[in-house]
């Protein structure tokens, strides 16, 4: 991966310093990268055309040269001056035309911007001409040029007839009508190449560049080892940018790697941007751990998936596709087997489109907007394709009608509608901002911007990094109020429900629960006192016999002083049942009218306050007191003296020193 001087120069302009430190401004042309893919039947001259245009033989395998046919993907490039002073860097992906190698062809066309549909003038339209055009249409390729190769091998009249046949063949396709550029060329004589080159410039200059500011993804199409460098992978960078020393993740393996070096179209560079043919020298992984079909992306950002909800279109030439059919799935460079589960219908008719879920045999990195091709399981022929709407479908059971409404929103909704729908389907669990990035493929900044707009419209609520729909938040808040009131109805003698019990009853995360409580307190619907939650303004409601029992308990302990009766004896004399009696005691303890020293030893707070006063009076005579003196002071037996002294120690009224207490 040797450095080329040209790639060390800036592409837009640079300021350097000349003699005497005077700044000199050099302007270098802007660079625009466009990926051009070939398509067409075997032996129609695709590789020869690429070589004639670029001077590079894209057939790199010895077997290809020996057999004279393209077996695997080949690559070439050429820089051309654009109409606005920019440099058009065309990266060519040459694909095999034989039907046996269609899977290799599919691995190369996923990232192309422009197609050269190659048709030999001496043979005309052939089966792979049709299949390759179908594939390009299913992948939503929008621009292309039709090249009639081997034009030197037919006379003018035959060439005219072939042109008319091609025009008829293209009717209804993205290459039809005024868009059609049908250019006869000869790679042998060079005839028509200048015309084709100009057509390439015209087409490439109108193509919108891929977004280099999105999250990077590089589907791998080649893996090899270079002496002195180690593991190298190549691919077409379909989004974002990759720089030297970036930390990436290999999908679906999940292994983390570091970028040691970057090449773009064979030249060393500091970074590669979307739309460029890219080679990366990777550290932290061996060649045997990589293969075509894997994808490089920022680490800890995305998740490979087993399932994807999609729109699926069937070619008019295909047979009807039944629900639960197995197919071969191709997306970018990946290939796996998938089961097609149709939504709302039993089969897709030829030429029709349906919503479906693809259940994959192997995990794959897919994101919304990714195009794919499906091929019949057996015999293997291309039958359709589509676009991914959701690569993170929830596994909980959802009504088909609701699923269809959600996917229609994913297909045609605005970014705000899409994010809101993704938040809403999570219900009370909410959607973490990191999960939103993984689900949508949007950058963190874009998610935050769209979420901010939803927050401003009160469509969502933010809870410590999670977003909830306003509807879900309101529903759970109402449910919380109902739950608190229900608790009061069933527990009239209890001041309130514990926070954790309420959270578990509502089945909410701590983050969401905390925000809901905060909102309800702010709206004065509930009150929170310590660990208890109660309805606003709600006190304990006592019936007549309960109020009488409460008074009896309080009187029993108030009149007893420090020689208190056993708690169970007092409760046994009440008119209410044991459960309600215990709750009344709990109320008295909560209000600090009674103080519990042990399970069956309870004192009235007034008696304990009077005890403190006695100790302070004793302190004036002596700063210390032992058990015997304490018993004499209080008139209680050892049964009460020891628990009372231990209580006073805990309350920092006394401090034990040996067999005595120091009165503090």
Percent of the chain residues past pLDDT 90, beyond the cut? 51
Check pLDDT > 90 for residue 163. Answer: yes
- pLDDT (0 to 100) of residue 369: 95
The values of phi and psi at residue 392, to 5°, are: -135, 55
Dist. CA 560–CA 80, nearest whole Å: 105
Q: For position 522, what pLDDT does the model report?
A: 87
How is 299-327 classified by DSSP, letter by letter?
Answer: TTT---EEEEEEEEEE-TTSPPEETTEEE
What is the structure's pLDDT at 7? 29
**Looking at residue 410, what DSSP letter applies?**
H
Q: Are strands 14-17 and 23-26 parallel, antiparallel or unpaired?
A: antiparallel
Whether residue 620 is predicted with pLDDT greater than 70 in this model: the reply is: yes
Average pLDDT of the chain? 87
Percent of the chain with pLDDT over 70: 93
More confident residue, 31 or 64: 31
What is the C-alpha to C-alpha distance for residues 33 and 90, in angstroms, rounded to an integer?
6
pLDDT: which is higher, 14 or 126: 126
**How many Cβ atoms sit within 10 Å of the Cβ of residue 68?**
9
pLDDT value at 61 more than 90: no
Which class is 218-298 in CATH? Answer: mainly beta
| Cβ-Cβ contacts under 8 Å for 643 (sequence gap 6 or more) | 597, 598, 601
Q: How confident is the model at residue 544 (pLDDT cuts 50, 70, 90)?
A: low
- 205-239 in b/e form (b: 16+ CB < 10 A) is eebeebebebbbbbbbbbbeeeeeebbbbbbbbbb
Asked if pLDDT for residue 343 goes beyond 80, the answer is: yes
**Separation CA 656–CA 647 (nearest Å):** 11
178 pLDDT tier (thresholds 50, 70, 90):
low
pLDDT, residue 139, reads 93
Instruction: Quote the Cα angle for 214-140-386, to 5°.
Output: 90
Whether residue 25 is predicted with pLDDT greater than 50 in this model: the reply is no
Q: What angle do CA 592, 594, 595 make, to 5 degrees?
A: 85
What's the rounded Cα separation, in Å, for the pair 160 and 178? 18
Task: Quick: pLDDT tens for 449-461.
Answer: 999 999 999 999 9
Q: What is the DSSP secondary structure assignment for residue 8, as one 8-state letter?
A: G
Confirm if 443 and 461 have CB atoms less than 8 A apart. no
Give per-residue pLDDT as tens, 345-399: 999 999 999 999 999 999 999 999 999 999 999 899 999 999 999 999 998 778 8
Q: Is CATH 1.10.10.1400 the classification given to domain 554-565+582-663?
A: no
pLDDT tens-digit series, residues 571-606: 887 777 777 777 777 778 777 888 888 877 888 988
Domain ranges within the chain, ordered by starting residue: 31-205, 218-298, 305-390, 413-541, 554-565+582-663
* CATH architecture designation of domain 413-541: Orthogonal Bundle (1.10)
Strand 460-463: give its sheet, edge to edge: 431-432, 466-469, 460-463
284-333 pLDDT, tens per residue? 999 999 999 999 999 999 999 999 999 999 999 999 999 999 999 999 99
Which pLDDT does position 523 carry in this prediction? Answer: 84
Whether pTM > 0.85 for this model: the answer is no
CATH class of 305-390: mainly beta
Q: Do domains 218-298 and 305-390 have the same CATH topology?
A: yes
Helix/strand number for the chain, H first, E second: 19, 37
In whole angstroms, give the CA distance from residue 181 to residue 463: 56
DSSP annotation string for 386-406: EEEEESS---S---HHHHHHH
**What superfamily in CATH does domain 31-205 come from?**
P-loop containing nucleotide triphosphate hydrolases (3.40.50.300)
């Amino acid at each position: 991966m040797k450095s080329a001087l040209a790639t060390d120069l800036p592409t837009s302009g640079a300021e350097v310093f000349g003699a005497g430190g005077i700044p000199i401004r050099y302007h270098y042309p802007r660079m625009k990268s466009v990926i051009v893919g070939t398509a067409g039947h075997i032996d129609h001259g695709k590789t020869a055309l690429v070589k004639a245009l670029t001077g590079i033989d894209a057939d790199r395998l010895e077997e290809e040269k020996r057999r004279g046919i393209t077996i695997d993907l080949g690559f070439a490039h050429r820089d051309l001056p654009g109409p606005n002073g920019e440099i058009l860097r065309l990266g060519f992906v040459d694909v095999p035309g034989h039907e046996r190698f269609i899977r290799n062809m599919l691995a190369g066309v996923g990232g192309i911007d422009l197609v050269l549909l190659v048709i030999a003038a001496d043979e005309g339209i052939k089966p792979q001409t049709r299949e390759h055009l179908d594939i390009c249409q299913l992948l939503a390729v929008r621009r292309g040029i039709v090249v009639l190769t081997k034009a030197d091998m037919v006379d003018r009249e035959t060439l005219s007839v072939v042109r008319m046949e091609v025009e008829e063949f293209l009717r209804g396709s993205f290459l039809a009508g005024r868009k059609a550029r049908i250019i006869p060329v000869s790679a042998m004589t060079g005839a028509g190449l200048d015309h084709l080159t100009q057509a390439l410039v015209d087409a490439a200059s109108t193509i919108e560049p891929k977004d280099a500011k999105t999250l990077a993804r590089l589907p791998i199409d080649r893996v090899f080892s270079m002496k002195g460098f180690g593991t190298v992978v190549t691919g077409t960078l379909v989004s974002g940018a990759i720089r030297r020393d970036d930390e990436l993740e290999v999908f679906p393996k999940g292994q983390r790697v570091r970028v040691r070096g970057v090449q773009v179209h064979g030249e060393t560079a500091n970074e590669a941007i979307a739309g460029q043919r890219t080679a990366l020298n990777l550290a932290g992984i061996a060649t045997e751990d990589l293969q075509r079909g894997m994808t490089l992306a920022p680490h800890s950002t995305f998740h490979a998936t087993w399932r994807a909800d999609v729109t699926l279109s069937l070619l008019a030439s295909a047979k009807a596709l039944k629900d639960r059919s197995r197919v071969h799935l191709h997306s970018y460079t990946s290939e796996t087997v998938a089961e097609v589960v149709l939504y709302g219908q039993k089969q897709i008719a030829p030429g029709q489109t349906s919503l479906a879920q693809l259940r994959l045999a192997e995990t794959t990195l897919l994101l919304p907007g990714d195009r794919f091709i499906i091929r019949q399981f057996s015999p293997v022929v291309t039958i359709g394709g589509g676009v991914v709407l959701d690569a993170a479908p929830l596994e909980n059971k959802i009504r088909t009608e609701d699923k269809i409404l959600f996917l229609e929103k994913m297909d045609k909704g605005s970014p705000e509608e899409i994010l809101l729908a993704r938040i809403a389907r999570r219900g009370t669990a909410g959607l973490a901002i990191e999960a939103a990035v993984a689900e949508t493929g949007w950058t963190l900044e874009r998610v935050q911007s769209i979420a901010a707009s939803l927050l401003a419209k009160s469509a969502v609520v933010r809870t410590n990094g999670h977003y909830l729909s306003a509807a879900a938040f309101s529903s759970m808040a109402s449910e919380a109020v109902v739950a608190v009131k229900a608790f009061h109805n069933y527990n009239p003698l209890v001041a309130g429900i514990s926070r954790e019990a309420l959270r578990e009853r509502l089945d909410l995360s701590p983050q969401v629960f905390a925000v809901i409580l905060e909102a309800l307190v702010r709206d004065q619907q509930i009150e929170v006192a310590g660990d208890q939650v109660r309805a606003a303004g709600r006190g304990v409601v006592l019936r007549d016999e309960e109020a009488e029992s409460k008074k009896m308990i309080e009187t029993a302990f108030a009149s007893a002083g420090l020689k208190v009766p056993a708690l169970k004896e007092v409760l046994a004399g009440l008119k209410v049942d044991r459960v309600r009696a215990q709750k009344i005691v709990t109320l008295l303890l909560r209000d600090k009218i009674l103080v519990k020293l042990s399970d069956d030893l309870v004192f009235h707070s007034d008696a304990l306050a009077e005890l403190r006063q006695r100790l302070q009076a004793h302190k004036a005579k002596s700063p210390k007191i032992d058990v015997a003196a304490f018993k004499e002071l209080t008139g209680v037996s050892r049964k009460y003296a020891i628990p009372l002294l231990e209580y006073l120690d805990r309350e920092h009224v006394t401090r034990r020193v040996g067999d005595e207490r120091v009165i503090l």
